[in-house]
Chain A
Amino acid sequence: MTDHEQLDLQDRSELEYEADDAPNHGTGHDTDRDPQEKPPSKTSLAAVSTIALATAACGGGGGSGGGGTPPPTGGGGTPAPTALSPDTDAQAARFALQAGLSVSTGDILEMRSEGYERWLDNEINQPIERSAQQFLSDIGFEAIDAEQWFFRSDPADYMIWNQLLTGSNSVRKRVALALSEFFVVSVNNIQIWPSTSIGAYWDILKEGAFGNFRDMLEAITLNAGMGVFLNTLGNQKADPATGRVPDENYAREVMQLFSIGLFELNIDGTERLDGSGNPIETYDNDDVTGIAKVFTGYNYSYEGNITFQSPPDRPNLNIPEARLLRNPMTANSFFQIPNRGDQHSMEEKSFLGVTIPSGTGAQESLRIAMDTLFNHPNVGPFFGKQMIQRLVTSNPSPAYVQRVAEVFNNNGSGVRGDLRAVFKAILLDDEALSLQSLADPTFGKLREPMLRFAQWGRTFGARSETTAWLMRDLSDRSRFLSQSPLRSPSVFNFFRPGFIPANSQAAERDLLAPEFQLVNETTAASYVNFMERTIDGRGFWMFDIKATYQDELEIVDDTDALLDRLDLLLTAGQLSETSRTTIADALNAQTVTATSSEEDKLAQVHRAVLLVMVSNDYLIQR
């Protein structure tokens, strides 16, 4: 540990001071004025391109070359796959779009021959392709150099758009994205190595998507990015001399948002009521204060001989290697720099009816706290309902929630929290698959803006010219999508699961419509404007990402064929006759034949894609 001794001399306070100079994303809800408006500078782009080109040969292109680890299997004997198969291409597409980020004609063929569940199992069992870590290190975003990647969050956008716009693992990534909206960390609030931090977080979600909830809860709790975001990092035990008490932020949010929620729930997700008909709160402030002590003493872990370097142009700045952010936080001060001695509270810790005796250390306290939260009867319905909302429908029936919660409680082999079983239960449920739900005007959800963009990229073969996937933060409400993955404005996600838009048909029927929290007169118009210039590639944000529309160009002279294809791949065959006629008439007003110019053909494809993607038949996923 000589390195360790040496590292003790490093002064992190200087590092933290310097961090204030970093480009800082606003932490407010409004991102209209993004301090990082500019795309990366020409010089930085040139540098990236060079590095990217140099590494493209070793598997950086988004294929499945990334040396993935085998997926975790879902703890035990799952029942034999149902033989249920889609009767039509549209049904197959519908399932693939609920389960994943996009659908291809290959998916449809496979699903029709093998059935829903076999297809889903195949997807889940795919080797995990390129990780965030691989992307960031391959392209050079973890170098300590004059580009100051250690303060920059734009590589986080490149990383996540690379993940979502291309490549395999569509279902795994879709589920990880849903998890990122439940266990929320936002890169906006991370100052040191923001991209590596959020990349490590994304890798936890993606690798654990079909593992166990209990493992994921602990992994996200100890993730350094989460530590920064919700203040576990540097949280100290109480000091009676000064009156200082532990920080309560993580304590509160891990209960309210990441596990049990505010009110006691029945297994079907409805609220339990007391004798007077009132909901019963799951915890009070004493529980918060009690469990807050569990999350004390944690800080960055320098385990693994993490060293510091100075960028050549700033010799006074000591930057730890990026991999520091992939280490889980530790409460063992031996691995902390500087070593200030253990800061974990050894007081008695009481919460949710559990008492951890005084003198219990960090690791054991964490185990008890995680077990207590994990085993609370609320978790199944609380988590299950929100995952149904993200993937299938905003207003699942209580019976649907119950079926999923029961699988959460027991996967059939006595295992609680088996996420593979839970997500399969959500997707294979009759309420999700049945044609009856299509006849129900209240079924479904508004497709999230970031999912529309991801689907566009995957469906039309988006490529990165630099292979670095230079796509920006798309949070701005007036020009982009009002949503960008891993950039929630707060721990409360982009929208709340209980949101009901005022003065709407949804409100009249008392229906939840979470994604509508992003919709107003501004964002409705900016979505159309954004897609117009995304689809034709002329938006200033489109300098690196290009779609080929290869398959569409081949059939562009046949309006019916073109619309058949777009209808199937974008809306799962749900384009209404009225919408289809409107679009077909507009397309047929132009004469495009096999001999038309490439430009005319492309313009026709662009018209068709845009008109489908702004239709309400597309926007509402059912």
Chain B
Amino acid sequence: MFHIGKSKEISRRAFMHRSSQLAVMGAASGYAMGLAGLSDAAAFDNSGGYKALVCVFLLGGNDHANTLIPFDVPNYNRYAQIRDTIAIGRDPLAAQVLNPLQPQTLTDDMQLALAPTMPRLKARFDQGVMAPLLNVGPLIAPITKQQFESDDVARFPRPAKLFSHNDQQSTWQSGSPEGSISGWGGRIGDLAASSNTNSMFTAINATGNAVFLSGDQIQPYGISSNGAITVRALDRRLYGSQAASDALRTLLTAGNGTVFGNDYAMANARSIQFSGFIDDAVSGVSLGTQFSDSSLASQLEIVAQLIAARSALGVTRQVFLVSTGGFDNHDGLIGTHEGLLAGVDTAMDEFYRAMEEIGAADQVTTFTASDFGRTLASNGDGSDHGWGGHHLIMGGAVNGGQFYGTAAKISVDADDQVGRGRLLPSTSVDEYSATLAKWLGVEAGEIPIISPNIANFNSPDLGFMRASVPAE
């Protein structure tokens, strides 16, 4: 319960105070610092208090078929027959069956169970705050298997460089293969930035640089799991010399007339100008929720701390990116993958608890994404690169406890797949992103900026988000 107006003013003053201590020289213009040019009147709904999206990217291509596993006997038997040595046993699935809160019939009367190592998210499904989205992947327009196999790219367009890690990571995040320079998280941020007093904290990246959070105007702030990193020698003498410390400040932010030199000076300037502010804001936060000791959990922990400090940071709309790797399980799928999912289960649940603790559970929506799904067929002890896959959405504003999208048949040759059980997506990433963007406040007319192919699909809103959240 805080008063936006007052906190905004405090936050702005605090930031300006810090900024005024710095002389940003050479290349570091206000525009490029992300301080100006963002208050254009984009159509954006910033009512209803704070809201944030948190993308959990599973690097390497999550094996969706061992994440949501058929439990009913006919479908389980098909699954076990196809997957052979990489099938999960049926017994431990019994406790993990996702029974929709409202009656729902899936393809071939399929019952789906969440992986045995994900009991916490199963409980969140039962609680109605988690929903799986089935067989989602990048598409330009709806496409059938026959159209796909025709190889007539002009008539039946499909995403470029399917099945390639780096390109499909980029395609999931931005809509096009590697080399793309703006992602849909960043483009949401472009529109949302004007809602924030301190627009430079609209997009925050807690993992390695990725295109997802780069907008046409905004640039993500990159934070570490250890918090904001400041240049220590700027706050004290450098090897005993104040003159050297002053020189350090000058050198770091001085462009040198070369393109790369100016760009590096800009990174330094952003680091100096923003990190101390973030550090101050987060230092006032103390979360009771304990996070476990994994990379993903510690990234989500710093995100939770930043959200807890939202008032001091001067933000009402934010987009975050965290990631965890190791999902390219061509070998050793059994064991490895279950362990990875256990890590996701634990970290996402801890994050949800932290959001409950700070009263932001309804304001924050976490969702998964990945390079691609994988083949249903086995290569002996793993699976290979695929296309569509299943993803999970969690938060108090999620219409949880039911499935979205269409379950694919358990098969390696049905019409909803393109060989070896690679799923032909029945829902597009554009529909996924459009639904999330709409919830955050992007107006209908602006959705194509986020999701450029949305006009080709039926559902600008897949319905997994509740229409509105209670005002704070």
A425→B265 CA distance, assembly (Å): 33
Closest residue on chain A to residue B166 by CB atoms: A492
A620→B265 CA distance, assembly (Å): 11
A620 touching B257, Cβ below 8 Å: no
Q: Which of A31, A477, A521, A589 is in CB contact (< 8 Å) with B241?
A: A589
Task: List the 4 closest pairs (A to B, CB-CB), nearest first.
Answer: A520-B222, A28-B325, A502-B214, A589-B243
A14→B257 CA distance, assembly (Å): 60
A-contacting 9-mer, from B39-47, B138-146, B202-210: B202-210
B-contacting 9-mer, from A177-185, A322-330, A525-533, A547-555: A525-533
Cβ-based interface call for A585 (8 A): yes
Residues on B with beta carbons closer than 8 Å to the beta carbon of A610: 238-239, 244, 248
B378 touching A244, Cβ below 8 Å: yes
Q: Which of A246, A490, A611 is in CB contact (< 8 Å) with B379?
A: A246
Residues on A with beta carbons closer than 8 Å to the beta carbon of B241: 586, 589-590, 603, 607
A611 touching B178, Cβ below 8 Å: no
Instruction: Tell me how far the C-beta of A540 lies from the nearest C-beta in chain B, rounded to whole angstroms.
Output: 14
Q: Which of B218, B243, B260, B267 is in CB contact (< 8 Å) with A590?
A: B243
Residues on B with beta carbons closer than 8 Å to the beta carbon of A607: 238-239, 241, 244
Residues on B with beta carbons closer than 8 Å to the beta carbon of A622: 258
A245 touching B379, Cβ below 8 Å: yes
Asked, given contacts A517-B209, A521-B228, whether A490 binds B325 with beta carbons under 8 Å apart, the answer is yes
Cβ-based interface call for B405 (8 A): no
B178 touching A478, Cβ below 8 Å: no
Closest residue on chain B to residue A262 by CB atoms: B161
Asked, given contacts A247-B382, A505-B259, whether A525 binds B230 with beta carbons under 8 Å apart, the answer is yes
A-contacting 9-mer, from B1-9, B98-106, B294-302: B294-302
Q: Can you spell out 19 A-B residue pairs with CB atoms less than 8 angstroms apart? A: A32-B225, A234-B331, A262-B164, A278-B153, A442-B258, A504-B266, A506-B260, A513-B260, A521-B223, A522-B223, A524-B252, A524-B267, A525-B231, A526-B229, A529-B233, A576-B256, A578-B256, A585-B243, A616-B261
Binary A-proximity of B274-288 (CB < 8 A = 1, otherwise 0) = 110000000000000
Q: Which of A20, A522, A585, A616 is in CB contact (< 8 Å) with B264?
A: A616
A620 touching B264, Cβ below 8 Å: yes
Interface of A is mostly: loop
B293 touching A231, Cβ below 8 Å: no
Binary A-proximity of B80-113 (CB < 8 A = 1, otherwise 0) = 0010110000000000000000000000000000
A-contacting 9-mer, from B179-187, B303-311, B357-365, B455-463: B179-187
B-contacting 9-mer, from A193-201, A210-218, A235-243: A235-243
Instruction: Tell me how far the C-beta of A605 lies from the nearest C-beta in chain B, rounded to whole angstroms.
Output: 9
A607→B254 CA distance, assembly (Å): 18
- Of residues B267, B296, B335, which shows the largest number of chain A Cβ atoms within 10 Å of its Cβ? B267
In the complex, chain A residues 450-493 whose Cβ is within 8 Å of any chain B Cβ = 477-479, 489-492
Binary A-proximity of B118-156 (CB < 8 A = 1, otherwise 0) = 000000000000000000000000000000000001100
Q: Which of B217, B262, B298, B380 is in CB contact (< 8 Å) with A505?
A: B262
In the complex, chain A residues 233-265 whose Cβ is within 8 Å of any chain B Cβ = 234-236, 239, 242-249, 252, 256, 262
Told that A586-B241, A615-B256 touch, could you supply 11 new A-B pairs with CB distance under 8 A? A511-B259, A520-B222, A522-B223, A525-B275, A529-B231, A586-B247, A603-B239, A603-B240, A606-B239, A616-B265, A620-B260
Closest residue on chain B to residue A619 by CB atoms: B264
Cβ-based interface call for B23 (8 A): no
Cβ-based interface call for B406 (8 A): no
- The count of residues in chain B whose C-beta lies closer than 8 Å to any C-beta of chain A is 104
Cβ-based interface call for B221 (8 A): yes
B215 touching A502, Cβ below 8 Å: yes
**Interface contact tally, CB-CB below 8 A:** 297
In the complex, chain A residues 257-288 whose Cβ is within 8 Å of any chain B Cβ = 262, 276, 278, 281, 285, 288
Residues on B with beta carbons closer than 8 Å to the beta carbon of A520: 205, 209, 220-222, 267, 271
Residues on A with beta carbons closer than 8 Å to the beta carbon of B214: 502-503
Residues on A with beta carbons closer than 8 Å to the beta carbon of B226: 32, 478-479
Residues on A with beta carbons closer than 8 Å to the beta carbon of B228: 521-522
Instruction: Tell me how far the C-beta of B235 lies from the nearest C-beta in chain A, rounded to whole angstroms.
Output: 11
In the complex, chain A residues 576-605 whose Cβ is within 8 Å of any chain B Cβ = 576, 578-579, 582-583, 585-587, 589-590, 603
Closest residue on chain B to residue A247 by CB atoms: B379
Closest residue on chain B to residue A286 by CB atoms: B419
Q: Which of B206, B254, B384 is in CB contact (< 8 Å) with A616?
A: B254
Asked, given contacts A28-B325, A444-B258, A586-B246, whether A235 binds B379 with beta carbons under 8 Å apart, the answer is yes
B261 touching A30, Cβ below 8 Å: no
Cβ-based interface call for A123 (8 A): no
Cβ-based interface call for A84 (8 A): no
Cβ-based interface call for A516 (8 A): yes
Cβ-based interface call for B268 (8 A): yes
Residues on A with beta carbons closer than 8 Å to the beta carbon of B412: 243
Instruction: Tell me how far the C-beta of B157 lies from the nearest C-beta in chain A, rounded to whole angstroms.
Output: 11
Residues on A with beta carbons closer than 8 Å to the beta carbon of B330: 230-231, 247-249
Cβ-based interface call for B366 (8 A): no
B293 touching A33, Cβ below 8 Å: yes
A526→B179 CA distance, assembly (Å): 27
Binary A-proximity of B352-392 (CB < 8 A = 1, otherwise 0) = 00000000000000000000000001111110110000000
Cβ-based interface call for B255 (8 A): yes
Cβ-based interface call for B289 (8 A): no
Instruction: Tell me how far the C-beta of A245 lies from the nearest C-beta in chain B, rounded to whole angstroms.
Output: 6
B229 touching A478, Cβ below 8 Å: yes
A453→B392 CA distance, assembly (Å): 42
Closest residue on chain A to residue B223 by CB atoms: A522
Residues on A with beta carbons closer than 8 Å to the beta carbon of B342: none
A513→B258 CA distance, assembly (Å): 13
B267 touching A442, Cβ below 8 Å: no
Residues on A with beta carbons closer than 8 Å to the beta carbon of B259: 441-442, 505-506, 509, 511
Asked, given contacts A32-B295, A33-B294, A519-B267, whether A256 binds B164 with beta carbons under 8 Å apart, the answer is yes
Q: Which of A243, A498, A499, A500 is in CB contact (< 8 Å) with B82?
A: A243
A615→B260 CA distance, assembly (Å): 12
Instruction: Tell me how far the C-beta of B450 lies from the nearest C-beta in chain A, rounded to whole angstroms.
Output: 16
Instruction: Tell me how far the C-beta of A27 lies from the nearest C-beta in chain B, rounded to whole angstroms.
Output: 4
Residues on B with beta carbons closer than 8 Å to the beta carbon of A239: 380
B263 touching A248, Cβ below 8 Å: no
A77→B195 CA distance, assembly (Å): 68
Asked, given contacts A244-B378, A247-B382, A522-B224, whether A502 binds B182 with beta carbons under 8 Å apart, the answer is yes
Q: Which of B217, B220, B250 is in CB contact (< 8 Å) with A582?
A: B250
Residues on A with beta carbons closer than 8 Å to the beta carbon of B231: 525, 528-529
B248 touching A33, Cβ below 8 Å: no
Instruction: Tell me how far the C-beta of B22 lies from the nearest C-beta in chain A, rounded to whole angstroms.
Output: 14
A500 touching B380, Cβ below 8 Å: no
A456→B27 CA distance, assembly (Å): 27
Closest residue on chain A to residue B376 by CB atoms: A243
Residues on A with beta carbons closer than 8 Å to the beta carbon of B377: 243-245
Cβ-based interface call for A349 (8 A): no
